[in-house]
Amino acid sequence: MTLFLDIRKKLHRYFLKQKVSELTNLVKPINYDSAREIIILYNAESIDQNVAVREYSRRLLKEKKSVNLLGFTKKIPADLAEPARYLSNADLNWIMNPRPARVGKILKTKFDLLINFYQDECLPLEYIAALSHAKFKVGRYQPDKTYCYDLMLQLKDSDNIEEFIDQVDHYLKYINPHEN
């Protein structure tokens, strides 16, 4: 089983890097104040991430920002009122890429900012981050994922979602999009 999973992961990365190499997105640094349309990717199975991300999105909404949430979970519970906000294993093809019918609109939308709060490896969310037309993409530092993000942050306590949110805000406030 592990060998089959390893092969699937290698094929996923190979085809994703091929698609990324075809993109012509120019990085457009966006700071916190100028970001209006934001998509947040997160681990919907983690209670801590669910609470922190929803609290953060409420704060952004109060600041008149448009916020889209996309959580990944292995299986979407039947009692969820908002299934469009979740992606699950059922939405993936055999090499763990999200099916275009589920993420096509998200990939085509030109968000000002994409933030991936997912802490562990999540190939479907990495796929979305890498191929998104978002102007600026932020995620956790992982040396083999530099093709996914424009800004990567590394924390000492990698499990603390609140600290990561604070660091994202901190660094986004210091970006000057008019320099160049």
Based on the number of CB atoms within 10 Å of its own CB, is 41 exposed (0-12), middle (13-18) or buried (19 or more)? buried
- pLDDT given for residue 82 in this prediction: 61
* In-domain check, residue 179: no
- pLDDT given for residue 85 in this prediction: 84
Q: Count how many domains the chain has.
A: 1
Partner residues linked to 98 by β-bridges = 92
* In-domain check, residue 180: no
CATH number at residue 77: 3.40.50
* In-domain check, residue 86: yes
Q: What is the model's pTM?
A: 0.88
Q: Which residues in the chain show pLDDT less than 70?
A: 1, 24-26, 77-84, 157-158, 177-180
Q: In what order do the strands lie in the sheet with 113-116?
A: 86-87, 66-72, 37-43, 113-116, 136-140, 151-153
